Amino acid sequence: MSVPAFGLGTFRLQGQVVIDSVRTALDLGYRVVDTAQIYENEAEVGQAIAASGVARDELFITSKIWVANFAKDKLIPSLRDSLRKLGTDYLDLTLIHWPSPGNEVPVAEFMAALLEAKQLGLTRQIGISNFTVDLMQQAIAAVGAEQIATNQIELHPYLQNRKVAAFAQSQGIQVTSYMTLAYGEVLKDPVIHQIAERHQATPAQVTLAWAMQLGYAVIPSSTRRENLAGNLKARELRLNDQDMALIAGLERGHRLTSPAGLAPAWD
């Protein structure tokens, strides 16, 4: 896979909280860190990485371009600013965070600018986030499916986003699941609990393993060392066909992230 299957998310973590989370994760063996311009924590993430002593070539760092920086004269300067904050010469993956509100900046314009950033060596891979099938088709028309490493979307047992995931995978575009634990809602689900008990695992491990077995990358976040360590063990858990079918049955179209003015017309 072009994007590692397991990493650390940093959404909603700022200041010393994100520094501690990233440093603890790196100490435990995490090597993938996901941030974004709008999280306002890139400098702290960079600080934690620098303090960790982990070599840059062992890491996979992702950030996302905010909608205010989509215009062709703004995207690359904003990415250079992100690199400065993160203390690195390049990102491993740079994503368009949301579609441009009201199509203010056309998909073709920001995807061309993002591809230019890749050609300049500012990022090794490029991708998209929160894109519908229609928007993915526009991005593919702009730069080619082979240039798009991933579409990072809300995806968890209660919102399995099958149409978007199937289209992405049909084009060779990897799916990255964010909010895989649905803000913790699925961790209380009796079906997930039953599966966890059978495997002597935690509900979080079951949920993350389910997503990875479907071929998705996951980027759970946590501020607690025991949860960070526990989540990491999801990589070793194998669910059987019955487990996977039970979780498939939890789909209920329960979307948690749909900000007014940003969200597209969801599939």
Structure tokens given for 109: 């314009």
pLDDT score at 83? 98
Has residue 239 been placed in a domain?
A: no
Domain that holds residue 60: 8-187+215-227
pTM: 0.97
User: Which CATH number characterizes residue 131's domain?
Assistant: 3.20.20.100
Q: Is 238 exposed, middle or buried (0-12, 13-18, 19+ CB in 10 A)?
A: exposed
Question: Binding site annotation covers 97?
Answer: yes
Has residue 183 been placed in a domain?
A: yes
Has residue 237 been placed in a domain?
A: no
Q: Which residues pair with 68 in a beta bridge?
A: none
Has residue 196 been placed in a domain?
A: no
Using alpha carbons, list the distances in angstroms from residue 59 to 38, 49, 62, 101.
Answer: 21, 9, 10, 32
Has residue 220 been placed in a domain?
A: yes
Active site residues: 39
Has residue 203 been placed in a domain?
A: no
pLDDT tens, residue order, the chain (267 aa): 589 999 999 999 999 999 999 999 999 999 999 999 999 999 999 999 999 999 999 999 999 999 999 999 999 999 999 999 999 999 999 999 999 999 999 999 999 999 999 999 999 999 999 999 999 999 999 999 999 999 999 999 999 999 999 999 999 999 999 999 999 999 999 999 999 999 999 999 999 999 999 999 999 999 999 999 999 999 999 999 999 999 999 999 999 999 999 999 999
| Number of separate domains in the chain | 1
| 221 vs 110: CA distance, rounded Å | 28
Cα dihedral sign, 114-116-118-122: negative
Taking the CA atoms of the chain, what radius of gyration do you get in angstroms?
18
Has residue 236 been placed in a domain?
A: no
pLDDT score at 2? 85
Nearest to 115 by CA among 158, 151, 154, 146: 146
Has residue 206 been placed in a domain?
A: no
